[in-house]
Chain A
């Protein structure tokens, strides 16, 4: 869904996913985050990775703000010289996941198979078993990873980490098509 497809701005704050497809240039991350800093908008999470196109990188940025504000943010990001395309979507237009890892002491496993049961019920998995600790991994939405955190807490969580959101749009148009359309609009 392109920016122009959204017509109504209710002024309500919502969670939006911003995607930026970029060249791999030193300092570009800084240029992009400045767009948010200047407007005093907090980035909920940011993930940068390779995209499906060689040498093109994908930024996935989560913000909670109004439609009017996210539209301006995206235009400012798109304006950066090394950005190929930028767009934004409400939550319902994307499929998204996060990954969480939990390090708990091995001693927690001694009193029976309670932890193992929790892991199984939560569709998580044990990544590593060490004489002193085990590491559990779970992917899902934030509510799911938080729920597992609460369930594991009584056993003592030594470390916990959750990634930024990674997201994929529901629509079927691919990046190359967008870039071709963009080029046709300008050249």
Chain B
């Protein structure tokens, strides 16, 4: 076939597509395909049945995973989005189906994760009548979505979907929700699709301000003790290599928020560690000594800053951030660079001088040595007593060679995983619930991550409390044989709350002790292999078995009951008052 004929055929095909009569439900699925979607996590129900009926004919193109709870669907979509960089898509029915998505949506909102949630809604003539399974999902999700829309006419579905994907993925990413009434799903219309490339009232990516860049460069070039803090913005803008080039040229020590973790290899000489409440000693202590702070793609969360009145008051602050609403929100800055992290770092690189700040870096190294001796060494290599969380993570890190994707829930195990897993792979390797701190996030998110990256080793590190919040997703993992490795660190406590109760509530352990079921037995009931370890001597072999196992696997490690995570900055205290014990 010659080129001219091919062109005509293509045009003809396009014309056929454009005039094709479809139902709203079919139109939705066609629109998803136009956006490159191939994976959906969802749960059917009455108000979304036409979409599920249409999905039956799209099984070859759209892989649908039947989760066991809509919350699992939202978290799975988050895990998928976080590892692939593509928007996660989930389906739910009206009313309780839609409200079950809320935790995942709120989590995605605060952690800037692109999600497109499609919910079925009751017939439009029933809207507002308290019809069966009717909820004002638009009103309910408004505070936790970047954007949402209710569609009541089939012909409006393609445009709504196009806008939804554009908004979810552009600028600072976030969750969007499209609520579609049942009559709109059923009605037929003439389908055509046009991708959204611009919305007149929405400016997702600011133009680089050369003046701000020059001011930032001047501050950096004149700094004696410059200090970089980076967050997830670096990963979202694919600026890992740019960050590395930037800090290496200027010789600047750099520390990360938990959302920015794995943006730079853990063992890079300028990577000085983790910020915040359970972060490393030096990065917190020396925050109040630096003279120029360069914050990149992070939002000065209270878990990072502690008491703002005593946070880096001596420093000139440069904030590189794509979302203008984050600038001056918590910390007043001296130079605001409202820009995408990659664009800003690339513009800064030629303007900054080559430098080394050896004495300043040495201060971080001295702090690291103190922390290693006092905290880390006893944690990762104990010889007596019960198994410690840190030694488990340390061994996972060694045996997986720092190349696994680590997905965590929320609590002590999360902080331990952040502190002790040594990431070597700068691709998206760390998935956690940072801002919302959602227990129950890990298992479904890990499931979604493994679906998104089937060739990577995905390890869900999870506490006994969080595991029980969404463990029903073992059903989904089993049904689709999603090869996620589940590592339960079981201390039979809600560990982080217990730690606070010990330190700040006179050991009044109010309702934090848990009597747990047989986790491995539960896994086996779901057809998933597993093992339980209680002794240190068996740990290494058990971890290796888990890593080598083909398919899903659950490893429960019983750890010390009253282990604490240190260092710690008590809530509301200055970061300089970080405690080592």
A30 touches B (CB below 8 Å): yes
CB distance from A146 to the nearest CB of B (A): 35
A31 to B144, CA, bound (A): 10
A81 to B200, CA, bound (A): 9
Contact B324 A75 (CB under 8 A): yes
B268 touches A (CB below 8 Å): no
List which A25-68 residues lie within 8 A (CB) of chain B: 26-27, 30-31, 34, 38
A79-B323 CB under 8 A given contacts A27-B142, A38-B143, A186-B207: yes
Contact A31 B142 (CB under 8 A): yes
CB distance from A40 to the nearest CB of B (A): 14
Contact B203 A187 (CB under 8 A): yes
Interface of A is mostly: helix
Contact B207 A81 (CB under 8 A): no
State how many residues of chain A have any CB contact under 8 Å with chain B: 24
Residues from chain A with a CB closer than 8 A to the CB of B324 are 75, 78-79
Residues from chain A with a CB closer than 8 A to the CB of B329 are 72, 75
Query: Which residue of A27, A72, A184, A186 contacts B325 across the interface (Cβ within 8 Å)?
Result: A72
CB distance from B171 to the nearest CB of A (A): 10
- Mark each residue of chain B from 10 to 30: 1 if its CB lies under 8 Å from any CB of chain A, else 0: 000000000000000000000
- Mark each residue of chain A from 60 to 96: 1 if its CB lies under 8 Å from any CB of chain B, else 0: 0000000000011001101101111000000000000
State how many residues of chain B have any CB contact under 8 Å with chain A: 22
Contact A82 B207 (CB under 8 A): no
Residues from chain B with a CB closer than 8 A to the CB of A83 are 201
A22 to B200, CA, bound (A): 10
Residues from chain A with a CB closer than 8 A to the CB of B207 are 184-187
Contact B206 A185 (CB under 8 A): yes
A81-B199 CB under 8 A given contacts A27-B138, A186-B207: yes
List which A139-175 residues lie within 8 A (CB) of chain B: none
Q: Which residue of B lies closest to A9 (CB)?
A: B332
CB distance from A85 to the nearest CB of B (A): 9
A23 touches B (CB below 8 Å): yes
Residues from chain B with a CB closer than 8 A to the CB of A26 are 138, 150
Interface of B is mostly: mixed
B504 touches A (CB below 8 Å): no
CB distance from A187 to the nearest CB of B (A): 7
A75 to B326, CA, bound (A): 9
Residues from chain A with a CB closer than 8 A to the CB of B146 are 81
B205 touches A (CB below 8 Å): yes
A182 touches B (CB below 8 Å): yes
Contact B142 A82 (CB under 8 A): no
A78 to B325, CA, bound (A): 8
Q: Which residue of A lies closest to B172 (CB)?
A: A79
Contact B323 A81 (CB under 8 A): no
Contact B201 A82 (CB under 8 A): yes
B167 touches A (CB below 8 Å): yes
B502 touches A (CB below 8 Å): no
List which B354-383 residues lie within 8 A (CB) of chain A: none
Residues from chain A with a CB closer than 8 A to the CB of B167 are 81
B147 touches A (CB below 8 Å): yes
CB distance from B230 to the nearest CB of A (A): 22
Interface hub of B139, B206, B323, B325 (most chain A Cβ within 10 A)? B325
Contact B200 A84 (CB under 8 A): yes
B202 touches A (CB below 8 Å): yes
Contact A186 B201 (CB under 8 A): no
Q: Which residue of A lies closest to B198 (CB)?
A: A187
B328 touches A (CB below 8 Å): yes
CB distance from A86 to the nearest CB of B (A): 11
Contact A186 B143 (CB under 8 A): no
A79 to B323, CA, bound (A): 8
Interface hub of B138, B139, B201 (most chain A Cβ within 10 A)? B201
Interface hub of A26, A76, A81 (most chain B Cβ within 10 A)? A81
Q: Which residue of B lies closest to A4 (CB)?
A: B336
- Mark each residue of chain B from 318 to 331: 1 if its CB lies under 8 Å from any CB of chain A, else 0: 00000111001100
List which B199-220 residues lie within 8 A (CB) of chain A: 199-203, 205-207
Interface hub of A38, A75, A182 (most chain B Cβ within 10 A)? A75
Q: Which residue of B lies closest to A31 (CB)?
A: B142
CB distance from A56 to the nearest CB of B (A): 9
CB distance from B478 to the nearest CB of A (A): 40
List which A99-140 residues lie within 8 A (CB) of chain B: none
A81 to B329, CA, bound (A): 19
List which B282-325 residues lie within 8 A (CB) of chain A: 323-325
Interface hub of B147, B148, B167, B203 (most chain A Cβ within 10 A)? B203
Contact A81 B147 (CB under 8 A): yes
Contact B325 A79 (CB under 8 A): yes
Residues from chain A with a CB closer than 8 A to the CB of B325 are 72, 75-76, 78-79
Contact A81 B202 (CB under 8 A): yes
A30-B139 CB under 8 A given contacts A75-B325, A81-B147, A186-B206: yes
Q: Which residue of A lies closest to B336 (CB)?
A: A4
A19 to B146, CA, bound (A): 21
CB distance from B403 to the nearest CB of A (A): 37
A187 to B142, CA, bound (A): 28
Contact A71 B201 (CB under 8 A): no
CB distance from B160 to the nearest CB of A (A): 12
Q: Which residue of A lies closest to B138 (CB)?
A: A27
Residues from chain B with a CB closer than 8 A to the CB of A182 are 203
Q: Which residue of A lies closest to B201 (CB)?
A: A84
Q: Which residue of B lies closest to A85 (CB)?
A: B201
Q: Which residue of B lies closest to A33 (CB)?
A: B142
CB distance from B327 to the nearest CB of A (A): 8
CB distance from A16 to the nearest CB of B (A): 16
A49 to B138, CA, bound (A): 23
* In the complex, the 6 A-B pairs of residues with the closest C-beta atoms, listed nearest first: A186-B203, A75-B325, A84-B201, A81-B147, A81-B202, A79-B325
21 A-B contact pairs sorted by A residue (CB < 8 Å)? A23-B200, A23-B201, A27-B139, A27-B148, A30-B142, A34-B142, A38-B143, A72-B325, A75-B325, A75-B329, A78-B325, A79-B324, A79-B325, A81-B201, A81-B202, A82-B201, A83-B201, A183-B203, A185-B203, A186-B203, A186-B207
**Chain B positions near chain A (C-beta within 8 angstroms):** 138-139, 142-143, 146-148, 150, 167, 199-203, 205-207, 323-325, 328-329
A sample of 12 more A-B contacts (CB under 8 A), given A72-B328, A75-B329, is A27-B139, A30-B139, A31-B142, A34-B142, A72-B325, A78-B324, A79-B324, A81-B146, A84-B201, A185-B203, A186-B205, A187-B207
**Chain A positions near chain B (C-beta within 8 angstroms):** 22-23, 26-27, 30-31, 34, 38, 71-72, 75-76, 78-79, 81-84, 182-187
